Amino acid sequence: MKLVVNIPAFNEEDKIAETIKKIPRQIEGVNEVFMQVIDDGSKDQTAQRAREAGADFVFSHPVNRGIGITFRTSVGKALRNGADIMVNIDADGQFDSNDIQKIIAPILAGKADIVSADRFGDHEAKNMPRSKYHLNRMAAWIIGKFMNHKINDLTCGFRAYSQEALLRLNLPGNFTYTQETIIDAIGKNLKVQWVPVEVIYFDGRKSRVVKSVYNYVNNSARIILKAVRDVRPMKFFGIPSLIMILISAGFFIYFILMYFQDFKITPYKNFLLVAITFLLVGLQFLVFALMADMIKNNRKISEDQMYLLRKEKYKK
């Protein structure tokens, strides 16, 4: 059983060595702990500090490509390095590396395919910006309701992935991967669990993803909408379709009731026009739902083929 601890890093020369040295090399349930650092085009000495600190594998992007692409690189390198489990942890020491044992335990027990740290469980994240706290909680609640699955923490990057999960995930986004991973995993019926951990947002910490609240919300919203659209297309388009058709029916019934009072159309024609408009738009959304569901089925066939190709490619 081989565990690959993956550390994505960008300009982390001050923290990367300390983070690597804190990660335990002996973890119950695994035979080997392998340290992997993916340097996303850092302009400082991040890669060199990682090697000096004892990282087993360091790969550098020639330019900064973003955390979404960095995660895809991490997955490919971890599978190539024979990972049975991959744990992704931040390079800045924000998380306690001793919690890796707790994070991988459900996977070792066969109870989960993906395990995410939960920053909102037994220990509330210390010094977490309130805007970030409320945005995360709201997004997790909304997506959880839509996916019919309880989601405790949608955006935490401290996670463990089984080899099966690494082979099955398909993430096209560049901005981030945390939301897509959860949505994609639930859509594929992979078993997802959350484990409460303690995390500290230390003074002066700058997020590599959140440049501004507006930028983060805008990019995250687009990513989430696309992921949900692909995973639950009938629900994504079907609910608006049903709402519009019901509104159309309401206006049409009102028009009929008014018409039969004096058998005149002109005074109530606007109600009829509104009913027809909502009906046409609702039917259009219904067509979108059926087309998107067909595309989803074709996508599933393609993903199954990709899964088999990956399984053969990374076969030990």
The tens digit of pLDDT for each residue in 157-166 reads: 899 999 999 9
pLDDT band at 109 (very low <50, low <70, confident <90, very high): very high
Q: Are 146 and 291 in the same domain?
A: no
- Beta-strand relationship, 85-88 and 2-9: parallel
* Least reliable range by pLDDT among 104-113, 151-160, 213-222: 213-222
pLDDT of 142 over the 90 cut: no
Going edge to edge, which strands form the sheet with 85-88?
57-60, 32-39, 2-9, 85-88, 159-162, 114-118, 192-196
Burial of 208 (0-12, 13-18, 19+ CB in 10 A): buried
pLDDT of 248 over the 80 cut: yes
What's the pLDDT score for residue 218? Answer: 74
| Number of domains within the chain | 2
Q: Are 22 and 114 in the same domain?
A: yes
Q: Are 133 and 219 in the same domain?
A: yes
CB atoms within 10 A of CB 297: 10
Q: Which of 105, 132, 104 is nearest to 119 (CA)?
A: 132
Residue 310 to residue 154: CA distance in whole angstroms: 26
The tens digit of pLDDT for each residue in 162-182 reads: 999 999 988 766 556 888 888
- Phi and psi at residue 112, to the nearest 5°: -150, 155
Q: Are 243 and 188 in the same domain?
A: no
Residue 153 to residue 157: CA distance in whole angstroms: 10
What's the pLDDT score for residue 282? Answer: 95
pTM over 0.85: no
- Evaluate whether 88 touches 157 at the Cβ level (below 8 Å): yes
- Mean pLDDT on 51-66: 92
Supply 232's token pair: 């639950």
- Mean pLDDT on 121-141: 76
- Evaluate whether 11 touches 30 at the Cβ level (below 8 Å): no
What's the pLDDT score for residue 183? Answer: 87
pLDDT of 210 over the 80 cut: no
Q: Are 204 and 305 in the same domain?
A: no
What's the pLDDT score for residue 202? Answer: 63
Q: Are 141 and 237 in the same domain?
A: no
pLDDT of 253 over the 70 cut: yes
- Mean pLDDT on 199-210: 60
What's the pLDDT score for residue 168? Answer: 92
Residue 40 to residue 59: CA distance in whole angstroms: 8
- Beta-strand relationship, 192-196 and 159-162: unpaired
Q: Which of 197, 202, 152, 196 is nearest to 178 (CA)?
A: 152
* Least reliable range by pLDDT among 35-39, 62-66, 247-251: 62-66
What's the pLDDT score for residue 206? Answer: 56
* CATH number of the domain bearing residue 101: 3.90.550.10
Q: Are 168 and 272 in the same domain?
A: no
Q: Are 210 and 243 in the same domain?
A: no
Q: Are 108 and 152 in the same domain?
A: yes
pLDDT band at 65 (very low <50, low <70, confident <90, very high): confident
Last residue of a domain, one of 198, 231, 264: 231
Supply 12's token pair: 């982390």
- Secondary structure element (H or E) that encloses residue 301, with its range: helix 269-313
pLDDT of 57 over the 70 cut: yes
What's the pLDDT score for residue 68? Answer: 85
The tens digit of pLDDT for each residue in 12-40 reads: 999 999 999 999 999 999 999 999 999 99
The tens digit of pLDDT for each residue in 89-103 reads: 999 888 889 999 999
Last residue of a domain, one of 231, 249, 272: 231
Supply 11's token pair: 């300009």
* Least reliable range by pLDDT among 27-31, 150-154, 204-208: 204-208
In the three-class reduction of DSSP (H, G, I as helix; E, B as strand; rest coil), residue 152 is classed as coil
What's the pLDDT score for residue 161? Answer: 96
Q: Are 226 and 238 in the same domain?
A: no
What's the pLDDT score for residue 313? Answer: 87
- Secondary structure element (H or E) that encloses residue 298, with its range: helix 269-313
- Phi and psi at residue 235, to the nearest 5°: -75, -40
**Domain of 288, in residue numbers:** 233-313
Q: Are 307 and 295 in the same domain?
A: yes
E strands along the chain, which residues?
A: 2-9, 32-39, 57-60, 85-88, 114-118, 159-162, 192-196
Last residue of a domain, one of 231, 264, 294: 231
Q: Are 78 and 121 in the same domain?
A: yes
What's the pLDDT score for residue 123? Answer: 66
